[in-house]
A = this chain, B = another copy of it.
Amino acid sequence: MELTDEFKRIGIRLRQEGLIGAVFGNLSVRGDDGFFITRAGSYLDDPGSLVIVPFSGPMPPEASSEFRLHREVYRKTPHHAIVHAHPPHAVAISLVRDEIIPRDSEGEMFCPSIRVVEGRPGSDEMAANVADALSLSGAVIVRGHGTFAGAKTLDEAYSLTSSVEHSCRVLFLLHSWEDRRL
């Protein structure tokens, strides 16, 4: 099935760039009556069969534990694809900032302001906060947890994720350099 290959292709790129580790992170794509999402506990670079989750009603038990969040994003925003990753610099900076302002030119162009929102992984609160943020922007960070990016395609949502981590890494490098000169 072609969609599975798409998921796997993006999962491999996320892995190669160090944006996810082990079984962490998940991916989804909007369908007609629901959305396709990676299985709970699957490796994104080797996701196996996908799970179809309806926009309302009971959940298939094998879907990723973040299904609530993905559903809420598809209900509240026009995004067609979602990438959730655990990039280390984005996770770390979210613990010390409420909003991230990139200083590299890609960040300024694609995500000039990245919001940090609260919420326990898997909770309705996190789902609502992320869906709100993604109705205004392509990317958001859940404090201490990871990035969520929404876009027209998985490729675009992955590129946003890569750009957010690049911006956060540059901010850490700048912070370490500039502080020394004081």
Q: Which residues on B sit within 8 Å (CB–CB) of A169?
A: 88, 92
User: CA–CA, A101 to B161, complex, Å?
Assistant: 27
**Residue A158 lies at the interface, judged by CB distance under 8 Å to chain B:** yes
Q: Contact check: which of B92, B146, B158, B174 meets A95 at CB < 8 Å? A: B174
Known: A95-B170, A105-B144. A159 touches B23 (CB 8 A): yes
Within 8 A of B (CB), among A137-182: 142, 144-146, 155, 158-159, 161-163, 165-166, 169-170, 172-180
In whole angstroms, how far apart are the Cα atoms of A8 and B127 in the complex?
A: 37
Q: Is A62 an interface residue (CB 8 A)?
A: no
Contact A24 B88 (CB under 8 A): no
Task: With both chains docked as a complex, state the minimum distance between the C-beta of A28 and any C-beta of chain B, in angstroms.
Answer: 19
Q: Please determine whether A170 and B92 come into contact, CB atoms closer than 8 angstroms.
A: yes
Indicate how many identical chains form the complex: 4
Selected contact of A13 from candidates B16, B22, B95, B166, CB within 8 Å: B22
Given contacts A21-B17, A24-B106, A92-B173, contact A86 B179 (CB under 8 A): no
Contact of A130 with B by CB under 8 A: no
Give Cα A30–Cα B158 distance, bound, in whole angstroms.
31
Evaluate contact between B91 and A170: CB separation under 8 angstroms: yes
Query: With a CB–CB cut-off of 8 A, which chain B residues contact A105?
Result: 120-121, 142, 144-146
User: Measured between C-beta atoms, what is the minimum distance from A156 to chain B in Å?
Assistant: 9
Could you tell me if A109 and B121 are in contact, using CB atoms closer than 8 angstroms? yes
Q: A16-B16, A23-B159, A93-B173 are in contact. List 7 more A-B contacts (CB 8 A).
A: A21-B162, A23-B155, A86-B106, A86-B166, A92-B170, A105-B142, A175-B177
- Interchain residue pairs with CB less than 8 A apart (7): A17-B22, A22-B161, A23-B155, A86-B104, A88-B169, A109-B121, A176-B176
